Amino acid sequence: MEHRHLRYFLAVAQTQHMTQAAERVHVTQSTLSHQISQLEELLGVALFDRVGRGIRLTQAGELFRGFAQRSLKEMEDARVALDELENVVRGSLRLGVIHTYNSTLVPPIVAQILTRHPGVKISVEDLPASAIEEAIAEGELDLGVAFALAGPDIAAEPMFEEELVLIVNRKHPLAKRRAIRSQALSEIPLALQSHRFATRRLIDQALGPAIADSVRVEMSSIESLLNTVRTGLVGTIVSERAFGSDPELSKVRITHPTTIRTAALLWHRGRYRTPAAREFAALFRGAYQNRAPRERTGRVL
């Protein structure tokens, strides 16, 4: 079994189309078909089912896919490790970042990487925290920027803490309050992120009884939540960092309990950390570790 067998197999697995896969790996369709047949013969199992003009993975193919991805990643890591002997930061960097940090914290660090190391190619995925952990575990991402709610294969390096706060329209009766007890949330219609987001699950865990009957709207986007709050009909609960300078909105702290989430860099526990990933982490750490959000302008009470 050779490197090309794995590359060709993964191209077909991803496209589920022989012609498209052949174009992706820059070989003829007949060459690709021959190489896939050769791989199946080497393994002694069928990796694909041919269905009409399409193609799909068999159960054996689904199982082999994960091993093939990890094998190619190990080979790439080996190449990068050898490059490191020359003290060169290059190659690719695959990041998974939750939306709030992707729109605020990550762009300046990406800019620094590109300036210092023009040979690095960076891919940034805007994903929920759970999807970031899954992608790191599968070897699809090198590094994540999310929360310290890591699974067994994930190492979380804490960066800073941030409070979850209530955001309301500035004309709302609570807008002039600095803080409210969580029990008061039962009287406020709320718009929150859906349950596929870790922040929503954290909110439910901390404030569940208080908000059980108050959630009227669920959305994926923080911007959509804030735009909905601007109508004056509902409030929302987001991290204090997600609340920008906006004269139409006010921030109210929630106490008893105060809900805190910890931002973290997420790594795979057992995999090689590439120079590009380590460089990004060092810059991010230097810029943000243990730093509270900057004081906002506008009406923040």
Q: What is the set of domains in the chain, with CATH numbers?
A: 3-81 (1.10.10.10), 87-159+262-288 (3.40.190.10), 161-261 (3.40.190.290)
Query: Which of the pair, 42 or 218, is modelled with greater confidence?
Result: 218
In angstroms, the Cα distances linking 27 to 23, 34, 50 are 6, 11, 20
Quick one: which of 257, 263, 235, 80 has its CA closest to 167?
Answer: 235
Residue whose entry in the numeric block shows the structure tokens 């596929």: 196
Contacts of 190 by beta carbon, 8 Å cutoff, 6+ apart: 211, 214, 215, 216, 217, 234, 235, 236, 237
Q: How many helices (H) and strands (E) does the chain have?
A: 10, 12
Angstrom distance (rounded) from CA 101 to CA 104: 5
Q: What is the pLDDT of residues 263-282, one digit of tens each?
A: 999 999 888 888 889 999 99
pLDDT per residue over 226-265, tens digit each?
999 999 889 999 998 887 778 899 999 999 999 999 999 9
Among 129, 104, 136, 164, smallest CA distance to 264 is for 129
Any idea what DSSP says for residue 235? Answer: B
Q: Greatest CA separation found in the chain? A: 72
Q: Which H or E run includes 149?
A: none
Residues 110-119 have pLDDT tens digits of: 999 999 888 8
Tokens of 214: 């108050």
Structure tokens at 155: 């190492």
Helix (H, G, I), strand (E, B) or coil at 142: coil
Q: How confident is the model at residue 89 (pLDDT cuts 50, 70, 90)?
A: low
pTM (predicted TM-score): 0.67
Query: Is the pLDDT at 25 greater than 80, yes or no?
Result: yes
pLDDT digits (tens, 9 = 90+) for 164-205: 999 999 999 999 999 999 999 999 999 999 998 989 999 999
Please state whether beta strands 260-268 and 143-147 pair in parallel, antiparallel, or not at all (unpaired).
antiparallel
180 contacts 255 by C-beta, under 8 angstroms: yes
List alpha helices for 214-271, DSSP H.
Answer: 222-230
End-to-end CA distance of the chain: 64
